[in-house]
Amino acid sequence: MKMRRTPLRLEAAVVAVICLTALGLARAAEETDQEKELKAAGEEYRRLELGVNEVTTPQITAILRDLGTFQPVPFDLIAQNDREANYSNRMQTALHFGSLVADGFMLTVAERPNDVHEIGKALIRQAKALGVGDRLTKRSKSLFDLSDKGDWVGMREELARTQGDVEQSMLDLRDEEMAHMISLGGWLRGFQLAARSCAKSYSPERSKILAQPDIIDYFLDRLGTLHPRLAKTEFATELTAALRDLRALTEQATEGVLTQEQIARASVIADHAVGIALGPVDPEGRLLKPRLP
């Protein structure tokens, strides 16, 4: 049986199609690489535009990780942070979210699985209030799994990743103020917990972790960029004043070391600052006295 030969024109056409297809795929791959580069450049521009840089998240994450060096764990102070608190404003919701991440770090240090579970649930609630619940729901489920396995190092790493997740979510929403308030809440709560622990069991080495006025400078700058109406409220002005007091104290460190007396004072100022950040505020931004139990 004779095989029919494909006409030369058809062969040429097939070859042409194959070549064009290959060329198209190559161009598509090239365009994909270019798109990736443009996307990366765009993300970097957005991060710079929103003030997200190496001064913020990396150092905040580092100080949270450093909580592992602060013993004893101030359980009484952790218990004072209402995990089911609801705020009528996004600023305090963001600050509270950050504070819960810091609490979670310290609770993993103390290996308290039940409390870590509660922190995970609280993070989901606050994330939903901020409009980024889906991403944090997945993260919290992973946290629960690690808690069940007793993987404390993994839990700390997972909590650190929540900072990046929320930061990216805020970038996606172009919500600059809330991105910084989440970071401020985490750093301030971490500072408070560490200062309380260091005041009870002082060491010069650990005091160096707290003597970082450049971080406070950054957050003071961020508070200075709040919307004028919000910046003029008693809540914002008092929180700013407390951070300035803390900054002035940390600047007194000699070769980066704060004395035991300075640490004790820093603990008092941090308590005051957190009290403002997470305390009751009326719709006009006036500070309210907490209700007696």
* DSSP string computed for 238-249: HHHHHHHHHHHH
User: Tens of pLDDT along the chain (293 residues)?
Assistant: 443 444 434 333 333 333 333 334 334 344 455 544 444 444 444 444 444 444 444 455 666 667 778 888 999 999 999 999 999 999 999 999 999 989 988 998 888 888 888 998 898 888 888 887 776 777 777 888 888 888 888 888 888 787 677 667 766 767 778 888 988 998 999 999 999 999 999 999 999 999 989 989 999 999 998 989 999 999 999 999 999 999 999 999 999 999 999 999 999 999 999 999 999 999 999 999 765 44
Instruction: Please state whether the predicted TM-score (pTM) of the whole model is above 0.85.
Output: no
In the block, tokens 């006025």 appear at 213
CB of 187 within 8 A of CB of 68? no
Q: Amino acid letter at 286?
A: R
Taking the C-alpha atoms of residue 205 and residue 275, their distance in angstroms, rounded to an integer, is: 27
Structure tokens at 39: 């996307």
Q: For position 54, what pLDDT does the model report?
A: 47
Q: For position 44, what pLDDT does the model report?
A: 46
Q: For position 282, what pLDDT does the model report?
A: 94
Q: For position 291, what pLDDT does the model report?
A: 52
Q: For position 40, what pLDDT does the model report?
A: 43
CB of 171 within 8 A of CB of 39? no
Over residues 45-66, the pLDDT tens digits come to 444 444 444 444 445 566 666 7
- Name, in order, each residue with C-beta under 8 angstroms of 292's C-beta and a sequence gap of 6 or more: none
Q: For position 61, what pLDDT does the model report?
A: 62
CB of 253 within 8 A of CB of 207? yes
Structure tokens at 241: 């004043």
Locate the domains of the chain by residue range.
53-278
* DSSP string computed for 131-156: T-HHHHHHHHHHHHHHHHHT-HHHHH
Chain mean position to CA 157:
13
Taking the C-alpha atoms of residue 16 and residue 251, their distance in angstroms, rounded to an integer, is: 72
CB of 181 within 8 A of CB of 93? no
Taking the C-alpha atoms of residue 281 and residue 269, their distance in angstroms, rounded to an integer, is: 19
φ, ψ (nearest 5 deg) of residue 290: -65, 145
Chain mean position to CA 104:
12
